[in-house]
Each structure stands twice: as structure tokens, then as C-alpha cells.
Amino acid sequence: MSRRSFFGLLLLLWPLGLMAQRTVQGTVSDAETHLPLIGAAVRVKEHASLCTVTDPMGRFVVHLPDNKACHVEVSYLGYGVQSRFVPEGKAPVLEFRLSENISQLETVVVTATRTPKLLKDVPVITRVIEAKDFLSTDVGNVQDLLQAELPGIEFTYSMNQQVSLNMQGFGGNSVLFLVDGERLAGETLDNVDYSRLDLNDVGRIEIVKGAASSLYGSNAMGGVVNIISREAKEPWFANVGTRWGSHNDWRSCGSVSFNTGRFSSSTNVQHTSCDPIRMKNDGDFGTIYANHTFSVKEKMSFSPNNRLRLTGRAGYFFRERESMVTAHDRYRDFSGGLKAEHDIDESSNVMLSYAFDQYDKSNYALQSGLDVRSYSNVQHTLRTLYNHSFGTKGILTVGGDFMRDYLMSYQFSDGGAHLQHTADGFAQFDWTPVKKLNVISAIRYDFYSQAKLHHVSPKLGLMYKMGKMSLRASYADGFRAPTLKEMYMSFDMANIFMIYGNPDLSPETSHNFNLAAEYNKGAYNVTLMGFYNRVSDRITTVWSQAMNGMVYDNMQPLTISGIDFNASARWDCGLKMRLSYVFTHENLHEGDLHTSSTRPHTATARIEYGKNWKNYGFNVALTGRALSAVTCDEYTSLTDLSQTQRVTYPGYMIWKMSLLQQVGRGLNLTTTVDNLFNYVPEYYYNNSPATTGTTVALGLSVDIDKYFRKDIKK
């Protein structure tokens, strides 16, 4: 063939190539406000590699490789998924207007797999509490929210009114709390400072029950609670609010954010205060200490292009408890971080991050004005995470962390300090061989320098879909490394006895098995899960005659098993209902004292109804929780462990009614009556609710931006 003939043939084939390729473009916006949705995921169902995201104006462009008919699907966090049919040979301009989810199953979650995944497709049972749920029930802190929404969780008092968690047999040191995926520094009696976790800027909370050490390492034996901040989606947003409750309980907060497409910023401030609360009857405590808090947080993001996103954050928290007449307890936290996320191509992305968290405690003497720091935990964490998608068949996730953990404490000899370095690497493969079957497998290696600990944590999860039914089964290994406090503590307990650490502690380990069935049809969702945990070497304090004091040691094996039931319904008319129940059985080793305070039966219920018109809307919610009695043994002597008594913590039930009213474009009024039936404990155990009876609260908040924005649909 001559050169002229060859080029002639190319000229003839070139238009055919153009005809075989089509360009489909469109826009994605919010169905109610008509604002563009930035970063919405756009994909072609028939071509797994064809995917993109919307630009700052909500626009997208997809180049189709052929003239065949196809479907373009759009999804966005917190919104329902929409799909449009593209006929053969056509190149239409598509317009997507997404509405917020009615069914939570379309919500995108990240905690259970560390990659974005629809809730209905996650092979591990994950509970999601969205901002609109806890705003409608007027919940002011994480403790009240989790107790109201999840059975099996109870927050109680320990020594000196420090807050402790029990989640289905696991304490606060075995349930990992995260904020946007980052750990929290500092602890008191094995629990983080839950008062740091305000709900002012929270978008949703994701809870995974059961061992999650294969992804999150130590402290995730009993589960993970990930508090995820609200994203700045609107061009600008401003809200101020205040709430007053019984006992002069005040909460005031403000939020300001804006989003220009490439750059966004979110600032949040909150202040709380409460007078002393005097109990009505005798008990282990007679007055709840007065306290006040202040916090400020800033988060900024910048996207120089559609593939790269840079995020920086900083925060400060302060809390003061009026625990004594002459001195107060003070708690401070300084946090910050940097993160870079880069989409390498349509199927791969990488994330690099650095996080800093410093939690301090001090004693403030009122007369002298001296503020003496007695505790400081400083953590520096580096993390990398890489994801690669193999079309629709699987996602490979690999990553690693390095942390420098410094602890100075009054509980060490002469107020000394210890330092530990930890490192880990993990890999997970999320495999979907056929549409109905999803398999997820993961493995993680952890190293702790001071404990000289090496641990490998595997995990395997399966999900099979049969019409409206989804079946899930999983096995996971959990572990918890001994902390610096547990290894090196040397503390004089009020001149009564000493508490000693043990550098030879073994790590806590567990084998967790879950089997669950979920049925979903229309507005209805029912889930039943059975769980079994075999826990070895649980770390606790025991009396040592040789040392004449308490020393940290490992317990005999124990098992924790039970069932978790949840039924919910959401109708388009505005009516929602949820009923949840958990049965937990904790079986200790023969010969051990029955020291568990895990309540065997717990339940929560919620029913709410809401309606919106042009200038007025309301939502009324009734929530309740019921906890059964529990019997356990308690020591009556600090020097003779043979002296014990059997104590029964009585069961109780508490109900709350909340009314949220939305007036005009941005005025929100809340009225709340808590403890409707005036429950008061006959004796205030540490495991009793700290209530004096029925209380009331009134709240007011204003969405300032809604009074100025002209693009809001009336």
C-alpha cells in the first residue's frame, strides 16, 4: 500500500473513531437548595474504569468509548443515589438533583472498611447516627446520645466522679474513640475524656461493634466509635445557638463555614457550664461537681486541582471541675493535623497525614492562683493509606502508622515520664466475585517498643445477599497492648495502699465471632446479630500480699456472648420508629469473683414525627432506654480480699420528649422534658443514673445564612 493510500485510509477511519466516542456531560445539585454538589462521584455502570467527580460548579464530563446504551450513576455522601439512562448513540446533557437519604442504607460509611462504601454493602454491621437524628432529640453530649440510641452501652461514675464506659462487656480501654479517624490522647481510669467530644460540628457518628484490631490496632477489641465532622458544603454557613436546662445547665455554640469550591473553612466554638447538682437520696455520691468547658476548632481544605486535596485542622479544649473548695481540677487539650489526599488515577488514591494531640491535667489552687500540671500525654502520629480498585471486583487497601507516645504522670514515681514508639502495617482486600457475595479479609502487624510486643491481627468477613435479605458472618482477632500506666505505675492511693505497674504484662487478646441477618424492604429494616467473644489475659488490678498493695496482672480467660436486635422504619410522611435490644452474658472463669457490672438486658426505643411547610416545620420525638438489674460482688476491705459483699444495681427506665420547631427561614426552637416519669434512685450507686427527677430544657438557634441566601427554595 502506498503512503498516499495509507493516509487516505486513515482519513476515512478517523470520523468512524469520532463516531464511536461520545461525550456525556451534566450537573449535580441539591434537590432542595439547588446548590451544586462538589465532589459528587459519577460513574458509568457498564464501564467500571469510567468515573469522575464534579467540579466546583457541580459539573462533570464523561467520555464514553462506544455508542452502546449505558447508565450514568451519581452518588454523594448523605444523599440518595440516582441513575440516568443514556440511549444508544446519544450524548445528552444530564441534570441530577439529589435528595437527602430517607433510608440510611444509602449512606456512605468509612469506619468498618476504611474506604467509602454504602452502608447496605458493608460486610460488618455498622450503626450510623446522623446529625439530624440527634438534633431532633436535643442531645448535648456523646454520652447521652450513645445511651439513647444504642442498647448495651452505659456510662457510669467511677472514683471521684470520673466517667466510665461499658459497651456489651468491654470497658473504655477496649472501645476505640476516633474523631475523623484520629485517636485521642489522655485517659482517666482507662477512659478518654468524653467531654471533649461535643456535637456542635458533627455530621454523623459511625459505630462498629466487635473487634476491629485488624484495621485500628490496640484498644479496638470491643468496637470503634468514629465521630465524623460536618463537611462545609454550602457557599457559606453561619449558626449561633444557646440552650438552658435545669440546674442552670447552659450550652452556647457558634459555627461559621464557607466553600468556594477549591477552598473551604469551618470554625466552631462552644462553651458549657453547670451548677452543682445535689442528689435527693443517699448514695456513693451526694453532689455532682459544677463544671464549665470551652472549645474552639478550625478546619481548612484546599484543592489545587480535581485530584489533590489538602486539609489542616487545629483545636483547643479546656474543662474545669469544682471538685474541692480550695482547688479545682483543670483539663486542657491541644490538637492539630495535616492531611494530603491524591487521586493517582481513576482507580487509585493515596493519603498521607500527620496528627498531634496533647492532653494535660493540672490542679488549680484558688488562694495562691498556682496552676500545677500533674499529667501530660503527647502523641505524634504519621499515617499513610493507599487504595487501588480492580474495577467492580475488589479494592485493595494497604497502610501503616507510626506513633510517638509520651506520658508524664503523677502516678509514676516522683512524677516521672515514659516514652513508647509504636508502628504498624495493615492490608485489606475487599472482594466481590459475584454481585450477591462480598468477602473482606484483612491482616495487621503491630509493634510496641516499651512492651516489646509484636502482634498479628487477622480478620475475615462475608456478606451474601438474597433478595431483601443480607447475611453477614465475620471472625476478627482483637488485642490491647498494656499501656505505659499499666506497666510503670507507682501510686500511693490516699496513704491506704500502693498501686504498682507490671512491665511483664501480656497483651489482652480476643477472638470475636459475629453472625447477622438483615432484612430490608421499603421503609422497614430489621437486623438480628449474635456475637461471641473469648477474651484472654484481660488486664486488671489484683491484691499482692508480697507487695502489700494492688498490682496490674492478667486475668483468666472469659467469654462474652449475646444477641443484638434492631428494627426501624422510616416513612415519607415523616414518621420514624426504632426499637433496639441487646442481651449480654459475661461468663467469668470458675473461681473468679463476679465483678462484672454489665447489665444483661438493655433496650432503647424512639418514635418521632415531623412535618414541614413554607414557613414552619416541627419534629416531635419520644425516646426511652431501659436497663435491667445486675448483681455483682464488691470488695469491702482494701487489705483483705476475702471480705466481699454481693450488690444488686437496680434496673431503671427513663423517657424523654423533645419538640423541635423551625420558624421562618432559619429560626430553630427546642423544648425538652427529660425523665418524663420522674425516676429517682433510692440509693445513688456509681452505676445509677445521676438524676434528681424530671428536668426541662429550652434551646434557640439561628441559621444566619438562610436569611441572606436567595437561592433557597421556599
Tens of pLDDT, residue by residue over 344-398, are: 988 899 999 999 999 999 999 999 999 999 999 999 999 999 999 998 889 999 9
| CATH of residue 30 | 2.60.40.1120
> If you average pLDDT over each of 69-83, 111-125, 458-472, which comes out highest?
458-472
How far is residue 419's CA from residue 325's CA, in Å, rounded to a whole number? 35
Enumerate the β-bridge partners of residue 223.
175, 209
- DSSP character string of 330-377: EEEEEEEEEEEEEE-SSSEEEEEEEEEEEEEEEEEETTT--EEEEEEE
Number of domains in the chain: 2
| CATH of residue 413 | 2.40.170.20
How far is residue 635's CA from residue 227's CA, in Å, rounded to a whole number? 37
Class of residue 423 by CB neighbours under 10 A (exposed 0-12, middle 13-18, buried 19+): middle
Predicted confidence (pLDDT) at residue 492 exceeds the cutoff of 90: no
Enumerate the β-bridge partners of residue 580.
566, 604
Which are the contacts of 666, defined by CB distance < 8 A and separation ≥ 6? 702, 703, 704, 705, 706, 707
Amino acid identity of 534? Answer: R
Same domain, 639 and 533: yes
pLDDT of amino acid 641: 56
- DSSP character string of 219-272: T-SSEEEEEEEPP--SSEEEEEEEEEETTTEEEEEEEEEEE-SSEEEEEEEEEE
Q: What is the pTM of this model?
A: 0.87
Q: Does residue 167 sit within a domain?
A: yes
Looking at 86, 101, 116, which one is the last position of a domain? 101
pLDDT in tens, 233-255: 788 999 999 999 999 999 999 99
Q: Does residue 617 sit within a domain?
A: yes
Same domain, 190 and 315: yes
Same domain, 171 and 23: no
Nearest 10 degrees: Cα torsion 479, 483, 489, 494 = -80
pLDDT of amino acid 503: 95
Strands 558-570 and 575-587: antiparallel
Q: Does residue 80 sit within a domain?
A: yes
Helices marked H in 448-540? 484-488
Strands 249-259 and 236-245: antiparallel
Same domain, 116 and 43: no
How far is residue 458's CA from residue 17's CA, in Å, rounded to a whole number? 49
How far is residue 61's CA from residue 244's CA, in Å, rounded to a whole number? 50
Q: How sure is the predictor about 615, in pLDDT bands with cuts at 50, 70 and 90?
A: confident
pLDDT in tens, 142-182: 999 999 999 999 999 988 999 999 999 999 999 999 999 99
pLDDT of amino acid 590: 57
pLDDT of amino acid 571: 85
Number of Cβ within a 10 Å radius of residue 86: 20
Q: Contact, 713 vs 34, CB < 8 A?
A: yes
pLDDT of amino acid 14: 40
Same domain, 46 and 72: yes
Q: Does residue 373 sit within a domain?
A: yes
pLDDT of amino acid 154: 95
pLDDT of amino acid 673: 97
Predicted confidence (pLDDT) at residue 521 exceeds the cutoff of 50: yes
pLDDT in tens, 399-452: 999 999 999 999 998 889 999 999 999 999 999 999 899 999 999 999 999 989
Taking residues 641-670, report their average pLDDT. 88
Same domain, 113 and 133: yes
Looking at 54, 72, 101, which one is the last position of a domain? 101
Q: Contact, 169 vs 181, CB < 8 A?
A: no
State the cell numbers at 67: 455508542
pLDDT in tens, 449-476: 998 999 999 999 999 999 999 999 999 9
pLDDT in tens, 200-234: 889 999 999 999 999 999 999 999 999 999 888 78
Give the residue numbers spanning the domain of 67.
3-101
Same domain, 87 and 210: no
Same domain, 92 and 126: no
Same domain, 451 and 537: yes
Same domain, 563 and 678: yes
Predicted confidence (pLDDT) at residue 12 exceeds the cutoff of 60: no
State the cell numbers at 401: 502508622
Tell me how long the chain is: 714
Q: Does residue 713 sit within a domain?
A: no
Same domain, 96 and 112: no
pLDDT of amino acid 665: 83
> E strands of 628-711, at which residues?
630-635, 644-649, 652-663, 667-674, 695-703
State the cell numbers at 315: 483545636
Same domain, 14 and 130: no
